[in-house]
Amino acid sequence: QVQLQESGPGLVKPSGTLSLTCAVSGGSISSSNWWSWVRQPPGKGLEWIGEIYHSGSTNYNPSLKSRVTISVDKSKNQFSLKLSSVTAADTAVYYCARESAVAEIYYMDVWGKGTTVTVSS
């Protein structure tokens, strides 16, 4: 079965760039799914960041779009998140998720365990 594993620095300096990778195992990133990033600030709810298809097509949350880049590396079966100009408000647990697509139905059915990123000097 498909498993996802986030990795990346746990501490990022203010104004820097947050970079995370999600490794996909047990399945191909080139399957008919979208691959998403979701974050959760401490004690708060879930926020969708954006998603990518293996073709490279992306969709982003408008509130983050100017700072977010999601990319895919099919050779490594992984996808990545870059968030620039970070502030303390970007401190959160970051999850990657597979979004399955069946006809016009989409749902995030496989999730990574999440990785905590703290923005601090």
- Interface with other proteins includes 33 (CB under 8 A)? no
Minimum separation from the CB atom of position 91 to other proteins (A)? 16
Choice between 46 and 74, CB closer to other proteins: 46
- Interface with other proteins includes 112 (CB under 8 A)? yes
| 71 within 8 A of 57, measured Cβ to Cβ | no
Near other proteins in 70-109, by CB under 8 A? 95, 104-109
Neighbours of 86 (CB within 10 A): 18
Calpha distance 100→91 (Å, rounded):
27
Minimum separation from the CB atom of position 8 to other proteins (A)? 16
- 3-class secondary-structure state, position 85: coil
Calpha distance 61→100 (Å, rounded):
19
Rule CB under 8 A: which residues touch other proteins?
A: 36, 38, 45-48, 51, 59, 61-62, 95, 104-109, 111-114
